[in-house]
Chains A and B, each alone.
Chain A
Amino acid sequence: MLILGISAYYHDSAACIIKDGKVIVAIEEERFTRIKHDNSFPYQAIEFCLKDQSLKFQEIDYVAYYEKPLLKFERILETFLATWPFSLMPFLKGMPEWLNYKIKIEATIKKLGFKNQIFFIPHHFSHAVASFYPSPFEKAAILTVDGVGEWQTTGLWFGENNNIKPLKQINFPDSLGLLYSTFTAYLGFKVNEDEYKLMGLAAYGKPTFVNRIHSIVDIKDDGSFRLNLDYFGFRESFSMYNHNFEYLFGKIRKSDEKITKRHKDIAASTQTVTEEIYFKMLNYLYSITKTENLCLSGGVALNALANGKIYKETPFKNIYIFGAAGDSGAAVGAGLHVYQQTLPSAKKQSIDNLYFGSEYSNEQIKPVLEKHKLKYKKFVNKKELINKTAELLSQGKIIGWFQGRSEFGPRALGSRSILCKPNPRSMKTKMNLIKIREQFRPFAGSILQDKVYEYFDVPKINHWSPFMTFCFQVKKDKKKDLSAIVHPDGTCRIQTVNKVNGRYYLLIKKFYELTGIPCILNTSFNLKGEPIVENPEQAIKDFLKTKMDYLVIGDFLVFK
């Protein structure tokens, strides 16, 4: 059975194909359009998925769309009623978009030549499925939390075998995701894009604004909450906050303005309150499900800093977060649910890697290298290429790494990465200059799974965290070894690497043999404002534009 999963029209549009319950290809539209977090209908992603599997649209049995567009439209209309007469401008902008294409999903899909059944899976249910079905758990508590779906912003669920039962929910406009995004916008960052900047900035400040944030959000002991809408503008305007908010927290920061102590403190306070709500919700979820297994999904589940503290702040012992926890992953959730719904006897299959994207052969790469007249060496022996790359890394070189199938989701997990050694501290500065990004932002580390316990305060030996969705404290005696990736709060976002990661695993293993450090700095292969590179041409252009020392692409080592 072939199912095409689609997400679109909010952010991170994506497409995937599920074959007999297994994800065989998945990719975001942004990789092709080169618009970061592109929300347009994923025509190119669909085309790629079909081409990659040599399929025609007519061969697809079902299409699964990740939300219910008419229910979402109902919410939009009701919001206009509730905010009249202040929502004129969003009405004038939003109505043509909705009436022209956003509610015509079925027609859009049929136009592509699809004639079979289309299913519409509720947004948060798609998230819940995307976290539970790929998890290794037979049963688990599930929390979905993001900006907003149709109405729902937060969901508590219980998953057992093939069934997911909804338990509790919180609806728009009360939204933890929108609360976080409001402060993201207030601090001069982009909504739905730069939330992780706020998370990074939080480590530099003190949570001195917590009381003020409590005055705009009422939090109950069970983690449920309500926003005081007198301070928010996202319902009736294009701004997330309003003048009351500005009056309470002071002057807003413009994007090019210097970051001050006040901004850092507000970031720290936002993170603190978010974690307070998050952990209260999770403790409540545990109290009603009584299982130690937890699955998390939705944009807020990408808050790696909060995720790392769950083990200490709640009774949950085992946590699975699907790497594409945002809306792109909901396309996978929708597809997996349709498979289960139409074939109830089907068993869920766990996902331990996200290498579902595009791949380029040496034959495709070589002409691009020659077009750019680059010096390169082709390695016939894979081991020699790995050894040479590890040697260069150990010498402090910065290397573009373009290997195998690209990763699905927001994180570079060793297929489209820029790599360097995790010390000294100056490597961080060097890498931030290459990526043209703010110096306060931290870098993640990829570490051999069997060594993770020696370097990080992880909950168990051989801890498995393959999708970079957790931050953990770096052990005191290892901070020097990892000085380029330790954040001021002593944490680091980590990816555990094992044999599943193929060449990337071999590379870190060799680097460990050479240096005694089983970890390297890993950041996504892109420059400021652009999505992760999709093809060799883009990789080479970024390589040439920056001070990257080498590019390892396919079996080629490229020099400058």
Chain B
Amino acid sequence: MTKSKIQIFIKILNNFFISIILFLFYFFIIGLISVIYKLFKNNKEKADSYWQDSSPDNFNLEYFKSAY
């Protein structure tokens, strides 16, 4: 029972530290990349059509083996 409580405490502590690390990562790393991203990202402009062409060339066996 006591062990279980300790485990729960460690888990909460662990999650707390992970959250702090993620928080810092979000504000400093993601923030910095975000500024660069927004500088170079083209803003969407109004067009006659919003359809984008699909690329059929990718669809080979190797493509489907990749998780990306």
List residues of A whose CB falls within 8 A of some B CB.
68-71, 74, 78, 80-82, 84-85, 88, 91-92, 95-96, 103, 105-106, 117-121, 125, 155-156, 165-171, 174, 218, 220, 222, 224-226, 284, 337-338, 341-342
B30 surroundings in chain A (CB, below 8 A) = 80-81, 84, 91
Q: Are B49 and A222 in contact (CB under 8 A)?
A: yes
Q: Are B67 and A92 in contact (CB under 8 A)?
A: no
Q: List 9 A-B contacts (CB under 8 A).
A: A68-B66, A85-B26, A92-B23, A167-B54, A224-B49, A225-B50, A226-B50, A338-B64, A341-B64
Q: Are A120 and B64 in contact (CB under 8 A)?
A: yes
| Known A-B contacts A84-B30, A119-B65; A170 and B51 likewise in contact (beta carbons under 8 Å) | yes
B46 surroundings in chain A (CB, below 8 A) = 218
Q: Are B26 and A88 in contact (CB under 8 A)?
A: yes
Q: How far is the CA of A125 from the CA of B55 in the complex (A)?
A: 12
Q: How far is the CA of A68 from the CA of B19 in the complex (A)?
A: 27
Q: How far is the CA of A545 from the CA of B41 in the complex (A)?
A: 57
A156 surroundings in chain B (CB, below 8 A) = 51, 54
Nearest residue (CB) in A for B60 is A341
**B3 near A: Cβ within 8 Å?**
no
Q: Are A82 and B41 in contact (CB under 8 A)?
A: yes
| Known A-B contacts A81-B37, A119-B64; A169 and B27 likewise in contact (beta carbons under 8 Å) | no
User: For A106, A117, A165, A168, which residue has the most chain B Cβ atoms within 10 angstroms?
Assistant: A168
Nearest residue (CB) in B for A155 is B54
Secondary structure at the A interface, as helix, strand, loop or mixed, is mixed
Could you list 14 further interchain pairs (A-B, Cβ under 8 angstroms) beyond the known A88-B23, A92-B23, A220-B50?
A80-B34, A81-B33, A85-B27, A92-B26, A95-B22, A120-B65, A155-B54, A166-B55, A166-B56, A167-B53, A174-B50, A220-B49, A222-B49, A338-B64
Q: Are A82 and B67 in contact (CB under 8 A)?
A: no
Q: How far is the CA of A106 from the CA of B67 in the complex (A)?
A: 8
Q: How far is the CA of A284 from the CA of B48 in the complex (A)?
A: 13
Q: Tell me which of B54, B64, B68 contacts A168 (CB under 8 A).
A: B54
B26 surroundings in chain A (CB, below 8 A) = 80, 84-85, 88, 91-92
Q: Are A68 and B68 in contact (CB under 8 A)?
A: yes
| Known A-B contacts A92-B23, A166-B55; A117 and B65 likewise in contact (beta carbons under 8 Å) | yes
**B18 near A: Cβ within 8 Å?**
yes
Least CB distance from B12 to A in Å reads: 14
Least CB distance from A156 to B in Å reads: 8
**B42 near A: Cβ within 8 Å?**
no
B64 surroundings in chain A (CB, below 8 A) = 119-121, 337-338, 341
Q: How far is the CA of A71 from the CA of B49 in the complex (A)?
A: 25
Q: Are B56 and A92 in contact (CB under 8 A)?
A: no
Q: How far is the CA of A80 from the CA of B33 in the complex (A)?
A: 10
Instruction: Report how many residues on chain B are interfacial, defined by Cβ distance under 8 Å.
Output: 32
Q: Tell me which of A68, A106, A169, A174 contacts B54 (CB under 8 A).
A: A169
Which chain B residues in 19-38 approach chain A with CB under 8 Å? Answer: 19, 22-23, 26-27, 30-31, 33-34, 37-38
Q: Are B68 and A82 in contact (CB under 8 A)?
A: no
B61 surroundings in chain A (CB, below 8 A) = 341-342
Q: Are A68 and B67 in contact (CB under 8 A)?
A: yes
A337 surroundings in chain B (CB, below 8 A) = 64
**B52 near A: Cβ within 8 Å?**
yes
| Known A-B contacts A85-B31, A106-B67; A96 and B52 likewise in contact (beta carbons under 8 Å) | no
Q: Are B22 and A171 in contact (CB under 8 A)?
A: no
Q: How far is the CA of A338 from the CA of B27 in the complex (A)?
A: 42
Q: Are B44 and A226 in contact (CB under 8 A)?
A: yes
Q: Tell me which of B22, B41, B56 contacts A165 (CB under 8 A).
A: B56
Q: How far is the CA of A80 from the CA of B52 in the complex (A)?
A: 23
6 nearest A-B pairs in the assembled complex, by CB-CB distance: A166-B54, A224-B50, A84-B34, A70-B68, A168-B51, A81-B37
Q: How far is the CA of A226 from the CA of B43 in the complex (A)?
A: 13
Q: How far is the CA of A218 from the CA of B52 in the complex (A)?
A: 16
Q: Are B48 and A220 in contact (CB under 8 A)?
A: yes
Q: How far is the CA of A337 from the CA of B65 in the complex (A)?
A: 12
Nearest residue (CB) in A for B34 is A84
Least CB distance from B59 to A in Å reads: 8
Least CB distance from B35 to A in Å reads: 8
A341 surroundings in chain B (CB, below 8 A) = 61, 64
A119 surroundings in chain B (CB, below 8 A) = 64-65
A165 surroundings in chain B (CB, below 8 A) = 56
Q: How far is the CA of A84 from the CA of B65 in the complex (A)?
A: 33
Q: Are B54 and A82 in contact (CB under 8 A)?
A: no
Q: Tell me which of A92, A117, A168 contacts B19 (CB under 8 A).
A: A92
Q: How far is the CA of A71 from the CA of B64 in the complex (A)?
A: 12
Q: How far is the CA of A117 from the CA of B33 in the complex (A)?
A: 36
B52 surroundings in chain A (CB, below 8 A) = 168-171
B53 surroundings in chain A (CB, below 8 A) = 167-169
Least CB distance from A418 to B in Å reads: 42
Least CB distance from B25 to A in Å reads: 8
Q: How far is the CA of A421 from the CA of B59 in the complex (A)?
A: 50
Nearest residue (CB) in A for B35 is A84
Least CB distance from B42 to A in Å reads: 12
Q: How far is the CA of A341 from the CA of B53 in the complex (A)?
A: 23
B44 surroundings in chain A (CB, below 8 A) = 226
Least CB distance from B34 to A in Å reads: 4
User: For A80, A84, A170, which residue has the most chain B Cβ atoms within 10 angstroms?
Assistant: A84
